[in-house]
Amino acid sequence: MQTQVAIIGGGPSGLLLAQLLHRRGIDSIVLERKTKNYVLGRIRAGVLEQGLVRLMEEAGCADRLHAEGFQHDGTLISYGDEMFRIDFKKHTGKPVIVYGQTEVTRDLYEAREQANGLIEFNVENVVINGADTDNPHVTYAVHGEIRRIECDFVAGCDGFHGVSRKTIPTDVRREYEKVYPFGWLGILSKTPPVNHELIYANSPRGFALASMRNESLCRYYIQCSLDDDVEDWSDDAFWEEFKKRIPADQAKQLITGPSIEKSIAPLRSFVTEPMRWGRLFLCGDAAHIVPPTGAKGLNTAASDVHYLYEALRGYYETSSADGIDAYSAKALARVWKTERFSWWFSSLMHRYPGQTAFDHRIQVAELEFLRSNEAAQKAMAENYVGLPY
Ligand code: RFL
Ligand code: PHB
């Protein structure tokens, strides 16, 4: 088979890139290791920056997002029973949109199907060959049959555990990592949100987050130990712990119900450099991970897709390699700023094992500064709604 861009990974990065390229007449094939239902079953991000909304519009996939997404003009931050609001609209003029990653992915799959875009599911043993030459090709197996794609470029959109990053030789690749000593236990439940805005809570018992998908579907998280087993957390135990971590007046109005999904995610900051090797480009979680505090993972994947889409358009529409040559540096400049924000917000909101009384007082002082200082609120709001690209 032959295509212009071979895309490894059918998550949101790969699908969005494929659909954007398609609208400009650039051909691609997406290779996905799992089934479509498996990909759609992963409950992940819930907060979209305007940049991602704009890309979904350009991809022709934003109708449902506009009809069903919720505009949030601010967020709530609590410590103990104190709570304050960061007003995004006032400080930046921009809101964020609450719309699940599952729905973004579903809309993109639908668009790819309507456009008869080729997505190969259940692929195994993907190997990227000749990425440092002018003629790369990708081989893979489906149901035991070996297949081969000749292409101009390879987009590595295959997440943290994919093959693309590992294709870049170790003497070229530099990795930066910070692993946090806790995880997030998350549940999804068919209950109305405790508040119409998200609550990020720093409590003496650890972090909690009240998020949502719509007016009858909630996504709540609590900081947990990395040794915890999800099977050991009953719904009742989750609700009891969650209530203790949000302000008492919020806990009083919390409506609980059975969970329809429950999982534990570890927290990590990770960046690989460079994000391009010859004709291979890394996008999204394949190149970097942020802890979920601040909702930046999917949104940072979207900014990579934007830079790569512009680079490939430049190549095919005006025969310019400038965008391609600048891709890694441009993407990384923004990635590191979102890494900093996610690390800062995580450090402010969680309890760390071994944290001293001094460390805690510093957290409270910083929260009180944020509560009372307009410049600090503006900096927080600018990062939360998304840095420009
Ligand atoms: P994905 O979604 O991991 O998709 C990669 C795809 O590649 C496939 N794959 C392969 N295919 C072929 N061959 C191989 N060898 C392959 N290896 C892997 C995989 O099956 C998969 O389908 O990466 P992508 O597209 O870059 O998207 C990134 C986002 O999924 C991720 O950044 C976010 O979910 C992170 N995240 C959040 N981001 C936000 O912007 N806002 C949020 O509110 C937010 N909340 C979250 C999150 C992530 C979480 N978890 C569980 C990690 C909340 C949580 C709990
Ligand atoms: C979510 O709704 O899953 C979510 C929202 C905000 C975050 C992280 C996750 O910071």
- State yes or no: pLDDT of 364 exceeds 90: yes
DSSP 8-state class, residue 215: T
- Residue 295: per-residue pLDDT: 97
- State yes or no: pLDDT of 371 exceeds 90: yes
Range of the domain at 194: 180-267+352-385
- Do 368 and 306 lie in a common domain? no
- Residue 34: per-residue pLDDT: 97
Per residue in 264-317, pLDDT (tens digit) is 999 999 999 999 999 999 999 999 999 999 999 999 999 999 999 999 999 999
Distance 220 CA to ligand 2 centre (A): 8
Handedness of CA 235, 237, 241, 247 (dihedral sign): positive
- Do 321 and 363 lie in a common domain? no
Distance 316 CA to ligand 2 centre (A): 37
- Do 169 and 198 lie in a common domain? no
- State yes or no: pLDDT of 45 exceeds 90: no
Q: Is residue 24 a part of any domain in this protein? A: yes
Q: Is residue 137 a part of any domain in this protein? A: yes
Distance 41 CA to ligand 2 centre (A): 16
Q: Is residue 279 a part of any domain in this protein? A: yes
Residue 109: count of CB within 10 angstroms of its CB: 20
Q: Which two tokens stand for residue 183?
A: 């995880």
Cβ of 98 less than 6 Å from ligand 2: no
- Is 292 one of the annotated active-site residues of the chain? yes
Respond yes or no on whether the N-terminal peptide bond of residue 204 is cis (omega within 30° of 0).
Answer: no
Q: Is residue 246 a part of any domain in this protein? A: yes
Q: Is residue 82 a part of any domain in this protein? A: no
- Do 218 and 295 lie in a common domain? no
Q: Which residues, listed in sequence order, are joined to residue 6 by a DSSP beta bridge?
A: 29, 154
Q: Is residue 79 a part of any domain in this protein? A: no
- State yes or no: pLDDT of 377 exceeds 90: yes
Residue 86: count of CB within 10 angstroms of its CB: 22
Task: Average the pLDDT over 19-33 and give the result.
Answer: 98
**Residue of 47, 98, 214, 300 with the most ligand 2 atoms within 8 Å of its CB, for mutation:** 47
Cβ of 295 less than 6 Å from ligand 2: yes
Respond yes or no on whether the N-terminal peptide bond of residue 274 is cis (omega within 30° of 0).
Answer: yes
Q: Looking at residue 213, which CATH number applies to its domain? A: 3.30.9.10
Domains in the chain: how many in total?
A: 2
The residue length of the chain stands at 389
Distance 325 CA to ligand 2 centre (A): 34
Q: Looking at residue 119, which CATH number applies to its domain? A: 3.50.50.60
**Catalytic residue chosen out of the listed positions 12, 22, 72, 291:** 72
Q: Which residues, listed in sequence order, are joined to residue 98 by a DSSP beta bridge?
A: 47, 70
Task: Average the pLDDT over 311-326 and give the result.
Answer: 98
- Residue 367: per-residue pLDDT: 98
- Do 194 and 305 lie in a common domain? no
- Do 201 and 263 lie in a common domain? yes
Task: Average the pLDDT over 193-217 and give the result.
Answer: 97
Distances (CA, A) of 385 to 44, 78, 295, 299: 18, 19, 10, 10
- Do 35 and 128 lie in a common domain? yes
Angle (CA) 287-154-164 rounded to 5° is 40
- Do 156 and 225 lie in a common domain? no
Task: Average the pLDDT over 100-123 and give the result.
Answer: 97
For the chain, the average pLDDT equals 97
- Do 377 and 236 lie in a common domain? yes
- Residue 42: per-residue pLDDT: 86
- Is 72 one of the annotated active-site residues of the chain? yes
Contact by Cβ (8 Å): 205, 240: no
Q: Is residue 156 a part of any domain in this protein? A: yes
- Do 204 and 296 lie in a common domain? no
DSSP 8-state class, residue 285: G
Handedness of CA 293, 186, 183, 83 (dihedral sign): positive
Q: Is residue 367 a part of any domain in this protein? A: yes
- State yes or no: pLDDT of 43 exceeds 90: no
- Do 119 and 207 lie in a common domain? no
- State yes or no: pLDDT of 166 exceeds 90: yes
- Do 251 and 121 lie in a common domain? no
Q: Whose CA is nearest to atom 1 of ligand 2?
A: 46
Q: Which two tokens stand for residue 38?
A: 């498996």
Q: Which two tokens stand for residue 26?
A: 């650039």
Task: Average the pLDDT over 257-266 and give the result.
Answer: 96
**Residue of 31, 40, 44 with the most ligand 1 atoms within 8 Å of its CB, for mutation:** 44
- Is 99 one of the annotated active-site residues of the chain? no
- State yes or no: pLDDT of 333 exceeds 90: yes
The separation between CA 22 and the C-alpha centre of its own chain, rounded to angstroms, equals 23
Which of 33-47, 75-89, 93-107, 212-226 is least confident?
33-47
pTM exceeding the 0.95 threshold for the entire prediction: yes
